[in-house]
Amino acid sequence: MKQLMRTTDMSTIAFAQALLQGEGIDCFEMDVNMSVLEGGIGIFPRRLMVHPDDWEDAATALRDNGIEVHDGP
């Protein structure tokens, strides 16, 4: 899995997941339990992961809709 994005904004995560689902790209949200433990105050970001083979298509879909993509390792 390769990180596509990281954010504390749950609406952005939900929008990104919907966009990827519409494109037929599987994704996985990581760090959900950590953000629940912090009490919902938004300190710990959640990460959206995709298969490395899907990363370019997923990144294009998010960028085309104004969502910042994580370009690092």
Q: Is 69 helix (H, G, I), strand (E, B) or coil?
A: coil
Q: Cite the beta strand spans of the chain per DSSP E.
A: 2-7, 27-30, 46-50
Which residues are paired to 48 by β-bridges? 5, 29
Chain-centroid distance of CA 44 in Å reads 14
pLDDT tens column, 25-66: 999 999 888 756 666 666 788 899 999 999 999 999 999 999
Model pTM score: 0.86
DSSP calls for 2-70: EEEEEES-HHHHHHHHHHHHHTT--EEEESHHHHHHTTSSS-SPEEEEE-GGGHHHHHHHHHHTT----
